[in-house]
Structure 1
Amino acid sequence: MHVKETDRFAGLSAGAAQFRVSAIGEDNCSLASYNRRDYFKVSLILEGASELHYANRSIQIGKPALVFTTPLVPYSWEATGKLGRGYFCLFANEFLYTGGRMESLQESSLFKVGSDPVYFLDKDQGTYLESIFVRMRREIDTDYLYKYDIIRSQLNLIIHEAIKMEPSVAYFNPPNAAARITTLFLNLLERQFPVDFPTSTLTFKKASDFASQLSVHVNHLNAAIQEITGKSTTAHINERILAEAKSLLTHTDWSIADLAFSLGFEYPSYFNNFFKKHTGNTPMSLRKTL
């Protein structure tokens, strides 16, 4: 959304790192940068007109709505009217589901890829949900030792309120669909980088992985990307993996096996063959020249 989103969170605790809450349009403090691949988002839209571009779909929002977005599906907001009024919160999976007590948010009905992200609200629902966001914003500024336990309970109230409702959305195909699908693909590809730890691995490795996340047929995805960029989907994926491989070889001391795993290769030999095919050198020979 082309409006300012600002936050009200403080402290350096694990809770502060895993949860943030804000009102839309505040100008008394700035929202710190965050990595979208790590945070889920719940937005309460009370006033204003906008469009949510979610995967390959667009949703017009001109009345109160509760919106759930997941870090693995590219999305963007576009204001189509006056500045909106509402709230949003960002949180990590670990904040809500501590100690392995519940399933991952990615598998929940609200955030599962392919589910409808928008729940339109009546007046009573909007008033009730706004009161919860107000309480969360008030609580986060206190010094109470267990404030994040309270906030976690309040967030669960929001989620359970949504579970009781059926989403009612009207999707439409945006103009220049090929360009939009290409942009979504490139955003989703880039969102996987940089690779931060040798124990992590890429979620999307093939064109079909991206197509599944974007809810399009792989042939449609390939055709759109070829039309807009002049390169194949696989070429884009390989080029980005290769660039990350060179960066990791240069700036880390990870073993070749760890590096290969983090880039989605099942065996180091597969990574060696991939790297040599595209550069003419093995990963180890490149590292030795640095």
Structure 2
Amino acid sequence: MKSDTIKTFNQKEFLSKFMGPAPKLRKMIKDDQGRFFMVPVQDMIKISQVPVPPTRATTHTLIYLTEGVASMTIGFQKVRIRKDECLVVAAGQVFSYDKHEVNRGFISNFDDDFLISRISGKELLKEFDFLNIWGNPVIKPKGNTVNYIRQTLQRVLDEYQHNGLTNVALIKSYFIAALCELNTAYQPIAKSGSQVALTLVNGFKEAIHKYIKEKHHVADYASLLHVSPNHLNKTVKSVTGKPASAWISETLITEAKVMLVHTDHSISEIATALGVYDQSYFSRLFKKYEKVTPLEYRKMIDLS
């Protein structure tokens, strides 16, 4: 039964299914140093059900493959990683996938508090663009970096499987080291443009995720970012290959899909919640991107 509020990935529910009612479960889910868990990818597949419809992540998820492939849709972007590549779903991002694939590797779920408490400060988060809503979700390490990442993640997994978060400082140290290694291979999403242009585009992406239910026009975001609408549209298109208007529409449709899947609200109520007061326009826009109407999309998800 769907609820009136949007559901999100429930880490506690996952851990309960995977680990059982262990005495340490509550501490392993969340303690005063944040939330963290790690399991082999192949073990998670045993308990996961597909398809997973558009769902908002409440914490960061990192998948590193040592064998096989993995496909996912993040926001409106379809991504695919292979052996020795990494996929990151940043907290707040919407993700979905529709099939099990043969693969092996590591999957970890964690929040900002886990990274910044005790042994590191908030400044650390600024080092990892891939943990931002606008970051590139795919990282492709090369050379010796591949071995360093594998070894470091394996050390984290071994410690976590044997001792939970008993030696949390040790786990954090190795895990942050793995993120730092990944950071050396990270490349931002950009077809072209200067650092100034990339900074503007990143600010724009962050703004649309924050204000999409209130602001639907390029001019709205240009005003927030203190540039002209024409400059914003051109810059976004030059860096990403798509104009700012397309990013706004795609983000709006992504939000609509989450609400269609995880609430019982009517199509009219969803359109209104997203700041679109013309239901016919909302349905036309949705069909333009999804090839089906909002109602047909909901029925498809229910059948699956």
User: More helix per residue: 1 or 2?
Assistant: 2
Which protein is bigger by CA-based radius of gyration?
1
Contact 1:44-1:64 within 8 A present in 2 as well: yes
Which residue in the other structure is 2:39 paired with?
22
Q: 1:152: how far off?
A: 0.6
Instruction: Measure how far apart 1:13 and its partner are.
Output: 5.1
Q: Which runs of 5+ in 1 are unaligned?
A: 172-187, 190-201, 240-290
Q: SS at the partner of 2:139?
A: strand
Match of 1:206 among 201, 214, 225: 214
1:164 to 175, 184, 196: 184
**Aligned residue for 2:272?**
235
Offset of 1:136 from its aligned partner? 1.7
For 2:291, the equivalent position in structure 1 comes to none
Maintained 8 Å contact 1:40/1:69? yes
* Matched letter for residue 78 of structure 2: S
Describe how 1:180-259 pairs up with structure 2 within 5 A: 205-208=213-216, 219-220=245-246, 235-237=272-274
Gaps of 5+ in 2: 1-13, 49-54, 192-207, 222-239, 258-266, 277-304
Letter in 1 for 2:38: V
Percentage of matched positions with identical amino acids: 14
1:151 corresponding residue in structure 2: 171
Q: Does the 8 Å CA contact 1:55/1:75 hold for their aligned counterparts? A: yes
Aligned equivalent of 2:103: 84
| 3-state DSSP of counterpart to 1:22 | strand
> Once the two structures are superposed, what CA deviation does each residue of 1:38-58 show, in whole Å capped at 9, x if it has no partner?
311111012223333222222
Whole-Å separation in 2 of the counterparts to 1:120 and 1:78 = 23
- C-alpha distance 143-97 of structure 1, shift in aligned 2 (>3 A): same
Q: After superposition, where does 1:1-290 map in structure 2 within 5 Å?
A: 11-12=24-25, 14-17=27-30, 18-26=35-43, 30=47, 37-77=57-97, 82-98=101-117, 101-103=121-123, 105=125, 108-122=128-142, 124-143=144-163, 146-167=166-187, 205-208=213-216, 219-220=245-246, 235-237=272-274
1:113 CA displacement: 2.3
1:126–1:207 Cα change, 3 Å: same
Give the aligned residue type for 2:132.
K
Deviations 1:237-260 (A, max 9, x none): 369xxxxxxxxxxxxxxxxxxxxx
